[in-house]
């Protein structure tokens, strides 16, 4: 994955797909800052994002903001079939796993789904509906995402590598054992929640 992909992927995961260079430096760990700004200007020239001053949604500061263009967001996630881990932000991966687990639950255990994903994964493992290793990988994606959302952990290349590998382990199992539910989840997640 290139540094430009990292920028696009990160912008995909945040509200309004918009933030300033400083926040991007913090989240993508692309350094120095001048390198990040150059990347963003290149992406703007290619029409993949727009640059305009405004209030950053990630903090109380007014700066040059990078807003991901609608069509590059679509291009990133619009590829048919199961999303590739490269094009999947941690928030998207978490949402995908959450919906997939609920779908398994409804199929085998009925409509009364647990309120938390953690609970659902553990129960599905205990019911032997998800093998222990794949269940652990689901917990990995869940906890990585919670660190980003609740503890403000930087999601850099190492975290991306862990998430990607965990995702692959889940995907390989799911496509073999729960192919229908897995592809149904793709359809459910095809449109981004507003």
**Chain residues in the site for Zn ion (CB under 5 A):** 19-20, 23, 56, 58-59
Closest contact distance (angstroms) between CB of 9 and Zn ion is 17
Q: Which residues contact 75 (CB under 8 A, 6 or more apart)?
A: none
How long is the chain?
Answer: 194
Residue showing the smallest CB distance to Zn ion in the complex: 56
* Of residues 61 and 133, the one with the C-beta less far from Zn ion: 61
Closest contact distance (angstroms) between CB of 63 and Zn ion is 6
Is omega for the bond preceding 32 within 30 degrees of 0, making it cis? yes
Closest contact distance (angstroms) between CB of 57 and Zn ion is 8
User: What gap in Å lies between CA 177 and CA 27, rounded to an integer?
Assistant: 35
Helix (H, G, I), strand (E, B) or coil at 65: strand
* Of residues 27 and 171, the one with the C-beta less far from Zn ion: 27
* Of residues 53 and 158, the one with the C-beta less far from Zn ion: 53
* Of residues 16 and 86, the one with the C-beta less far from Zn ion: 16
φ, ψ for residue 155, nearest 5 deg: -100, 85
- How buried is 36 (Cβ within 10 angstroms: 0-12 exposed, 13-18 middle, 19+ buried)? buried
Closest contact distance (angstroms) between CB of 61 and Zn ion is 6
Helix (H, G, I), strand (E, B) or coil at 47: coil
Find out whether 104 and 170 touch, Cβ atoms under 8 Å. no
Closest contact distance (angstroms) between CB of 67 and Zn ion is 12
* Of residues 59 and 190, the one with the C-beta less far from Zn ion: 59
């Amino acid at each position: 994955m290139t540094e430009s992909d990292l920028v696009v992927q990160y912008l995909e995961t945040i509200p309004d797909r918009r933030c300033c260079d400083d926040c991007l430096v913090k989240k993508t760990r692309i350094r120095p800052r001048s390198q990040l700004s150059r990347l963003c200007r290149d992406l703007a020239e290619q029409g993949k994002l727009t640059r305009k001053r405004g209030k950053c949604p990630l903090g109380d500061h007014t700066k040059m903001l990078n807003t991901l263009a609608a069509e590059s967001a679509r291009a990133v996630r619009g590829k048919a079939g199961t999303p590739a881990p490269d094009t999947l932000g941690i928030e998207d991966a978490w949402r995908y796993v959450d919906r997939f687990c609920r779908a398994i639950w409804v199929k085998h255990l009925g409509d009364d789904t647990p309120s938390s994903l953690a609970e659902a994964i553990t129960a599905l493992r205990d019911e032997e509906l998800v093998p222990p290793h794949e269940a652990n990988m689901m917990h990995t994606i869940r906890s990585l995402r919670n660190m980003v959302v609740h503890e403000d952990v930087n999601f850099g290349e190492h975290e991306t590598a862990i998430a990607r590998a965990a995702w692959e382990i889940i995907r390989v199992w799911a496509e073999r054992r729960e192919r229908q539910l897995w592809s149904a989840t793709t359809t459910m997640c095809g449109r981004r929640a507003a």
